[in-house]
Amino acid sequence: MHTSLISAGRYAATALLFTLAMAQAHAAPATKESLRRYFEVAKVASLTDNAIETISAAQARDWKEETDPKEKAGKKAVYDKADQTIRKYINWPVLEPLAIESYQKLLDEADVQGMTVHAQGPVGQLITNKLTPALIAQLPAIGQHIEQRVDAIIDQDDAAPKPAVAPPAPPANRKEALARTMLGDYPGVREEFDAMMGTIEARMMQSAAMFMGEQAAKMEAQMKTYGARIRDQITFDEITALKARLLADALSEAEMHAIIDDNKKPARRAQLVKAKKAEAELQVRMNTYLQEKVFPVLVPELVKIIGTK
C-alpha cells in the first residue's frame, strides 16, 4: 500500500511537472491560422518533441543502469509500455488543438500578432533557441529532485512536528543570482506554481484511484495529509533556485540581462500577463487530457506488468 501511495504521489508530481514544462516550452478571437503561425515561429512543435525525447531518455536510464537481470527486464517492460503510450498520446499534432482552444479563449488576434512579432525579434529568438531548450534539458534533474522530495515527504512520521521550510541556499555566483532573478520575475509564475500545487491533493487522489481502485477512497484522509505536506514543503523558491543553478551556464550574463530588461517593458509585461493566462488555461486542459485519456490507458498496463514481476 505504501508503494501505491508513493506511486500516486509521483504520478501527481509528474503530471504537474509535465504541464508546467509544456507551458515553458512556448477582442476579436485569434484565428487558427495566426496561432499556428505563432507556434511555428516559436518552434513549439520541435520544442515539444525535444521535451518528450529528453524525458524519455531520462526514464530509460533507470532500466539501462539496473544490474540485476530480472529487475532490468521488469523495468524495461514498464519503460517500453510507458514510452509507447506517451509517444502515441502526447505529441504536438495531438496537443495543438488543446493549445489553439486555450489561446483562442483568452487572446485576440492583435495579441497573437504581437507575440509573433516578439518571437521573431532578438529576445524572442533568444528565448526560443537558447532559454527554452535549456529549460527542457533540465527536466530530468527537476523530475528526479521532485521524486526524491515526494518519497521523503511521504516517509515522514505523522506524529513528528511539522518541519520548517528552509529557504534555498544563496546563489553560488553572480550568474546564478541573475538566473534566479530572470526566472522569478516573469509575471504570474509564482502564482501559477502555487495554483498548480494547490491541486496536488486532488491529483494524488486521481492517481491513487487508478492504481488502487475503490481502496483509494479509504485513504482519502492520508492522501490529503501527504498532499498538504508536498504543497507546503516543495516551494516555488526551492524549484526556482534549482532551475537557476542548472541554467546559469546555458546563457551569458548579457543574454539574461536582455530577457530581464525586455520583461520590464510595459507592453511586453502586459503581453506576458495575457499569455500566462492562456498558458494556465492550456495547463488545465492538458491535465484533464492526461487524467482522462492517457493515464486510464497507461496505468492499468503498468499495474499488470508490475503485478507479474
Q: CB burial class (10 A; 0-12, 13-18, 19+) of residue 221?
A: exposed
- Say yes or no to pLDDT of 99 above 90: yes
Q: Which of residues 125 and 210 earns the better pLDDT score?
A: 125
Range of the domain at 129: 2-308
Whole-number pLDDT of residue 10: 54
- Say yes or no to pLDDT of 78 above 70: yes
Q: Which of residues 133 and 10 earns the better pLDDT score?
A: 133
CB 303 within 8 A of CB 309: no
Report in angstroms the alpha-carbon separations of 43 from 25, 49, 116, 127, 147.
Answer: 9, 10, 11, 11, 29
3-state helix, strand, coil in the chain (%, to 5): 85, 0, 15
| Residues 6+ positions from 120 with CB-CB distance below 8 Å | 41
Number of domains making up the chain: 1
CB 136 within 8 A of CB 47: yes
Whole-number pLDDT of residue 25: 46
CB 42 within 8 A of CB 24: no
- Say yes or no to pLDDT of 4 above 60: no
> How many Å separate Cα 226 from the centre of its chain?
20
- For 122-141, how does the pLDDT look when each residue is reduced to its tens digit (9 = 90+)? 999 999 999 999 999 998 89
Q: Which of 87-96, 141-150, 223-232, 252-261 has the highest mean pLDDT?
A: 252-261
Q: What percentage of the chain has pLDDT greater than the value 90?
A: 43
CB 302 within 8 A of CB 212: no
Pull the grid cell for residue 101: 482552444
> Where does the pLDDT of residue 14 fall: very low under 50, low under 70, confident under 90, or very high at 90 and above?
low
Q: What integer is the mean pLDDT of 279-284?
A: 87
pTM score, two decimals? 0.84
Pull the grid cell for residue 167: 529557504
